Structure 1
């Protein structure tokens, strides 16, 4: 028996981007472990990725090209050859590309975070066609935009420093479920005497283990941040020297937050005045004592109308108290802006002959049903889906399914399994998993460039995304040399080697070691140097004003809440949020039986007061509904959900739920204040017991 160990990377949509060691025995991957030498992974994997071989060798892996033989949505297919699949796709795409190339649409997101298997050869292919561009907004663009206006790019506190903080505020995230290695460091800080505070409408697994849990109403985080700033300024819990040297617009900010008294904030957020005042005092006094204070803000705060504003407001706090002076102080939303990735070289936008329209992935439900018009352009006639499962994950799901059900829509899906979206495909192409291909990775939670080596040969007839798009390019007759670049050649240009952050980088050595830390300062903004137009933390943003936005921190009430939309709330009085379930990652891993068994079945957490009003008992089946749709789940009566709010942990494959639906039946296609992102947590519903 020949046994080897291969260096790899977790490819999934998680900030931890773990370094993996894959044990291979006679060509079969037998174990996936965390690399004990990688400083952030430290040998530990989440329960999902620790079972990665179960996913790779799953009995239901798609291993051959398929052609639809039933109605769209039925999921009936027959096996065909690769030659037949490629010639069929080319025959359908060529006349569209000749007549109206923008009628062809890619749809992808973070099914893999890899620079190669994500958007390299695929982008070249669609750029050469002149297809519509996809605005990939479904997760992070609201917060990233608010952060950029305030601080600059997505750069913040190094995750490896958080254990040295004396106060950590975990705002809008549940790292036990979705950022495990940050949580390990937060626990170390706790053992060292730090105080941990969770801000979350839901008492998550993380909130239960923090010293304090503050539970504002969904969509009111921006108001809470304004209230904290009010108290910090009113009680002079400030670093005046840092403000004077490294910020812009303090006097305007001071006037704005004067309006946001603790009483007003408490009323807006549905919390107590004491919670507002005491949190601000703790944050400001700890910083004033010269101790590091850190905020880990996550994506939960941004999935509402004012989501970008919420992140902007929160991002102002560290500069007010001088938290950036410490390596363990400041804020982290994402580290993705730290990486000198070379996306232009990978994606080749120069292949475009003209700038096509852009379609927002969040509004795919409406856009697939939209007819041709001067404003919209041609109707979408063909969609190629890869690294995503839109029928399950996109909002306003009934419209998404209706769009994909169009008989005149030609749909190709690259996948590992027969997901909800695959059921609507005309042609299905089997893709490799992370153990079967090469890739290069950045991270949005740490500062390591990563290399993924192929541990095993592709199973069946599956192929890497890069190879699939090379073959599609050849079938379309594209003979540009760039479509012949190998994966190693792509990986060698994935990072800008002239950038000081990637000093001493080369792909061959990265493959051998698996990871290399960026050359970054320990405390990125200790001496200012923000990447805003002014080089300062911008409390007042001229760029926002130029973009038609309020240049100062403000508050935008949710589209759907009891306070902001009382007429709608008469019909649908409960706010619903749908954060990730611990055993799933978006809609990935839902079909892994051991993980689905651990999660149980779709359920809805509801507060005892709200349950009693509706005659709902624990374990009752309930129907959650609004004007957009409905789904059924099992009620869990618990005070983890605050009064007036219900929580549906997600995202289930619709076909694996009893009623064939999931939480996105009731979510909206409305967009955030900035970043054109989705408003998944800006949803009013009503709940009723299902009578058997």
Structure 2
């Protein structure tokens, strides 16, 4: 194409080549070194230049005229020049912090706005708000918040640090594991994205190698597609994993297969857990016959699997999805107990692992090499809420709530500033969130597109996409370094987050404190030079910034050879010299700390606690269990504007079992209504035997509709999900605790 220039850039879904002509992105192609490239970039040209881009600073008409929330979500917007809009926003920020204090400001961001290290929306908004006196922050993520709360009590380690730095790599698993037991599967579709990007998508390829070796891989969950086709499938009822794990543990103990030498040396509390397992405390032994009607697995299949797990090198993996349900703490805790009873924790290719396949990079064995981080500064405000409790916070200021051993009141939030995320994608019960969203006095959003969140804001600043600014792509979970060039001029009047916050800070008398006298180019130069110096200390040479610009990308020599030396391996070798960071220094099967919290929804050792909404409580009104997996065609809700234009792509596709479909007169391609008491959405049916009967699956990510619609037209499952904390300990999201029904739509 005449006049076309081509560059490589990176993203959360990987690296790709980009063709630019006449200041427009016109095409993308896979990065040559990627063995299984994602198709997500295919839609990028349409998305970046889509008519739903926020063109100019916009202020909601009703708020501009009355300074009230009335009409939020259904009002029109007035476009203003940048200077005027920044003046108004800065004055409002000053009013709130001086009148109500910084404890009345909530800083929301999910951090997925860009794979670039400087233009990282979460760092930008938090640095700005910290400079302005602080903000109410959030703990955890919707993906792993429950696990982040429970697992430090069990294994004594920050869950994300364990996930990214202390698990066996794929090569170690290949060389040592004989039985791979995957609760929730390992889905290569999910592994196409990662924080900071994943350049070589390897998950699917490793499973081909596992099959060639003869490894037995067992996918345990409601969908066959949650693991590669080569895996066995044990179709499990959603929400019942803990019951199955308890039954497996019962077989180990009952048949003398449990490794009591390991339990004695490396764990505490089995003596408190064993009476419950055997039914001595509650009168119900956790036998396979007890578990079978709860989880849907045959007793003989449970016994056979338990025996194999005890007599072969076995790695138990647990998907993030298991902790995104009511009582999500229990399967995570119980999986560690089950692995401890087998006694292989700390052996290569054995024990327990979390999040394989959840994102790319988990299973990649790399030498530790820190990335580049734009300092957020220190937050003077100490108030922190669990991230999934934002709607509760907005609707219930002053209400006391429990979280991980603490009890505190929700703050009275008067202003929300959101950048780099779309809460009307990832939160549960979006109709209820819409009502809670009416409570703050002011909502400010930096956003490239008119998402449901932008439509429900009062002040919307048009933000650039990663393709309209320069940055550096680097993450500790990948062995590539990228220069991310500015490919096109900003669309409309868009500005990057740093420029937006600089403008606000200058108007609030905080310009020097926020910028330290540096523009974006200077910060990128500084962050990259610091990175080069740290790399040099590790004996790794990378080009200077001009060299990287010319070279575009570097493959870093940081892949490890040989088995991982995880902290569990060191702990196994000498638990006295290398204790865990738990109170006992060991794996805590019984936690005196958790027991001391007195939570009936998360007692001192793992237990079976049935969810309030699951197939065990299904009714004629809601007979089907809804699961809402990550989408395969995008990251969260990004690029959805253009995807919605693809013929037949929207509404989203609902997977339904043939018997459930036949009962409702539904065929593949039919439009259906998915509904419960919380809401309803439209979807397109796909009839398949790859899902367990009684379960339906609807991916997340479709943009939430407008207020007043009695049925979301695009297929967003969070119109249906329940906004309930996992327990008083974790307070994570419980999206997978949802019952619905489905009916065919005529016409």
Q: TM-score, normalised by structure 2?
A: 0.78
Name whichever of 648-657 and 679-688 sits farther off: 648-657
After TM superposition, the structure 1 = structure 2 runs for residues 185-584 of structure 1, keeping only pairs within 5 Å, are: 185-204=206-225, 206-207=226-227, 209-238=229-258, 242-258=262-278, 259-287=285-313, 293-334=314-355, 346-349=375-378, 351-352=379-380, 354-355=381-382, 357-370=383-396, 376=409, 379-405=412-438, 409-435=441-467, 436-439=469-472, 441-442=474-475, 446=477, 448=479, 453-456=484-487, 458-460=489-491, 461-479=493-511, 481-484=513-516, 486=520, 487-488=523-524, 491=527, 503-504=538-539, 513=554, 515=556, 517=558, 522-524=564-566, 525-528=568-571, 529=578, 531-533=580-582, 534-548=584-598, 549-563=602-616, 565=617, 569=619, 571-584=621-634
Find the aligned partners of 1:265 and 1:490 in 2 and give their Cα distance. Answer: 58
Contact 2:9–2:16 (CA under 8 A) maintained in structure 1 = yes
CA displacement 1:575-597 (0-9 Å, x = unmatched): 21111232132222322338955
1:120 is paired with a residue whose SS is helix
- Distance in 2 (CA, whole Å) between partners of 1:379 and 1:166 is 54
In 2, are the aligned partners of 1:216 and 1:271 still within 8 Å (CA)?
yes
Asked if the contact 1:396/1:665 (under 8 Å) is kept, the reply is yes
1:664 is aligned to 718
Question: SS at 2:389's partner residue?
Answer: helix
Shift of 1:79: 3.6
Distance 1:172 1:340 in 2: 30
Deviations 1:661-690 (A, max 9, x none): 622122111101342111101012233344
1:193 shift after superposition: 1.8
Q: Deviations over 1:615-637 (max 9, x none)?
A: 54554433322222222323334
Corresponding residue number in structure 2 for 1:624: 674
- Aligned-partner Cα distance in 1 for 2:144–2:645: 26
User: How far apart are residue 653 of structure 1 and its match?
Assistant: 1.1
2:188 aligned counterpart, secondary structure? helix
Tell me the SS of whatever aligns to 1:264. helix
Aligned partners of 2:224 and 2:690 also within 8 Å: yes
Aligned-residue offset at 1:245: 4.3
Per-residue displacement from partner, 1:106-145 (whole Å, max 9, x unpaired)? 2221433655414323212222333222344322111233
Pair 1:607-2:648 in alignment: no
Preserved contact between residue 8 and residue 19 of structure 1 (Cα < 8 Å): yes
SS at match of 1:119: helix
Helix, strand or coil: the match of 2:570? coil
Q: Is the 8 A contact 1:530 1:537 kept in 2?
A: no
**Higher mean C-alpha deviation, range 339-348 or range 238-247:** 339-348
- Distance in structure 1 (CA, Å) of the matches to 2:22 and 2:228: 45
What is the CA deviation profile of residues 560-619 of structure 1, one whole-angstrom value per residue up to 9, with x for unaligned ones? 1343x57xx354232211112321322223223389557453233333433444454554
The answer (yes or no) to whether the contact 2:393–2:410 under 8 Å persists in 1 is no
**Uncovered stretches (5+) of structure 2, i.e. residues with no partner:** 63-70, 193-201, 279-284, 356-360, 401-407, 572-577
Q: Select the residue among 159, 168, 173 that pairs with 1:157.
A: 168
Aligned counterpart for 1:126 among listed residues 111, 126, 129 = 129
Provide the rounded CA distance (Å) in 2 between the counterparts of 1:119 and 1:519. 31
Distance 1:178 1:129 in 2: 38
- The answer on whether the counterparts of 1:66 and 1:80 sit within 8 Å (CA) in structure 2 is yes
CA distance in 1, matches of 2:529, 2:592: 35
Aligned twin of 2:106? 105
The residue that corresponds to 2:741 in the other structure is 686
Deviation at 1:332, TM superposition (A): 3.1
Shift of 1:211: 3.1
Q: How far off its partner does 1:266 sit?
A: 1.5
Q: For 1:347, what is the secondary structure of its paired residue?
A: coil
The CA deviation at 1:558 is 0.9
Alpha-carbon shift at residue 327 of structure 1 (Å): 3.9
Determine the structure 2 residue equivalent to 1:177. 189
How do 1:83-94 residues align onto structure 2 when only pairs under 5 Å count?
A: 83-94=83-94
Inter-partner Cα distance in structure 1 for 2:535 and 2:12:
24
Instruction: Encode CA deviations 1:453-489: one digit per residue, 9 max, x unaligned.
Output: 3343552343333333233222222145353365426
Whether the 8 Å contact between 1:440 and 1:491 is mirrored in structure 2 is: no
> Mean Cα displacement is larger for which, 265-274 or 377-386?
377-386
CA shift in 2, pair 1:515/1:34, >3 Å: farther
Aligned to 1:67: 59
CA contact (8 A) 2:655 2:687 kept: yes
1:141, 1:193 → 2: CA distance? 35
Note if contact 1:584-1:595 (Cα within 8 Å) is conserved in structure 2.
Answer: no
Check whether the contact 2:43–2:643 (CA below 8 A) recurs between aligned residues: no
User: Are residues 247 and 431 of structure 1, via their aligned partners in 2, closer, same or farther at CA, if it must alter by over 3 Å?
Assistant: same
- Relative to structure 2, which stretch is displaced further, 71-80 or 206-215? 71-80
> Partners in 2 of 1:522 and 1:479 — Cα distance?
46
Residue in 2 that maps onto 1:676: 731
1:47 to 21, 36, 39: 39
1:364, CA displacement in angstroms? Answer: 3.2
Matched pairs, number: 667
Cα distance in 1, alignment partners of residues 610 and 486 from structure 2: 50
Q: Residues 330 and 607 of structure 2 are in contact (CA less than 8 Å); yes or no, is this contact kept in structure 1? A: yes
Structure 2 CA distance for aligned equivalents of residues 214 and 228 of structure 1: 14
Question: Does the 8 Å contact 2:105/2:413 carry over to 1?
Answer: yes
The equivalent of 1:290 in structure 2 is none
Candidates 137, 144, 147, aligned match of 1:143: 147
1:448/1:516 contact within 8 Å kept: yes
What TM-score does the superposition give when structure 1 sets the normalisation length?
0.84
Preserved CA contact (<8 Å) 1:8 1:22: yes
